[in-house]
Amino acid sequence: MYLSFLSTVSAVWGKAWPIIIAILFFGLIIMVHELGHFIFAKLFKVRVNKFAMGMGPVLFKFGKHETSYSLRLFPIGGYCLMEGEDEESNDERSFSSKPVWKRFIIVAAGAVVNIILGWLIVAIMLGQANLIGTTQIKTFDKNSVTSAAGLKAGDKITSIDGKRVYSSFDISFLMMRDKDGVIDFGLKRGNEKISINNVALKTETVNGKSQIIYDFIIKGVKPSFLSVAKYSALETVSMGRMVWISLFDLVTGKFGFKDISGPIGVVGYIAQAAGQTHKANLTPILSLMALISINIGIFNLLPVPALDGGRLFFMLIEIIRRKPVPQKYESWVHAAGMILLLAFMAAISLKDIIYMFRS
């Protein structure tokens, strides 16, 4: 009886701990975003009324000077509430009373800190790796299609299907993005730039989806201060650019609604990565954390109402007009954007829940 109980507890814990880790990590990424706003608000002497870790009911709170700090029940984000951020205020330390350049930095800081966090995670991973992947081809598999098409060992891949390649991450992403398995390669061979087009790679079906078979191996370099600094920056650029390419693919119909994931889906992916992670190899969950943090940073800079990018857009209008847009009009736009964003997120979350029960 006792052994049966322990076995049940062990089985439940085995399924629960990756989800708990996933929620905590996702919450950490969002919290870092809010911390970026908070730090620069304090630096610029803006009154911060509330700073919360987590969402929902308050577990405990304490006040220091004018700011109320709280820890809340659900570890999925947080918020930084500044005086005069969304309402009129006569306080000389209000957000709205500050020069537009200071407000711009405060609003942008959240996204920038997310990108920096992603870059730091990438740098840590590369620093611990045996070799760092480059964009140069080292060898080919036996009967390689790419070798037969004219690619050679020593070639540096500079573009795939017209998209520039910055890092080894781009090679994987852009080849995965290809639908028909026919790829155009841009290469640098010595000092010469060449193109080899219409390379039809072999494909295989995995879980009902066609995937390209990679038939070459890229060269790796030993981690050093310079190599880690260089390739972590390039990989961060690659991850950030993926947002823009993915949005373009969504708008043009290359990918559909079923390919988008909301917070529930993201937590599921992190949990899956956590389940694959062990002490000797943290790469799965760290890679996903870096990707999500960078993507959240870039996505928040989009000029969409209710996002930080929407606020920055109104500030750019203010800089051009040399006077702010009346706050009530800006509030209406952000409110409408928030309603649409919440409706969109609800639809995605419902899709994620249905997918979880079907899988």
Q: What is the CA radius of gyration of the chain?
A: 24
- The values of phi and psi at residue 246, to 5°, are -65, -40
**CA nearest to 142, candidates 207, 68, 202, 52:** 202
Are the beta carbons of 337 and 306 closer than 8 angstroms? yes
Alpha-carbon distance of 106 to 100, in angstroms, equals 10
d(CA 334, CA 328): 10
Decide: 297 and 118 in contact? Cβ < 8 Å: yes
Active site residue 34: yes
Annotated catalytic residue, options 34, 83, 85, 330? 34
- Measure the CA–CA gap between 113 and 297, rounded to whole angstroms: 8
Residue 207 DSSP one-character state: T
d(CA 139, CA 260): 35
- Cα–Cα distances in angstroms (integers) from residue 45 to residues 69, 323, 340, in the given order: 17, 22, 33
Catalytic residues: 34
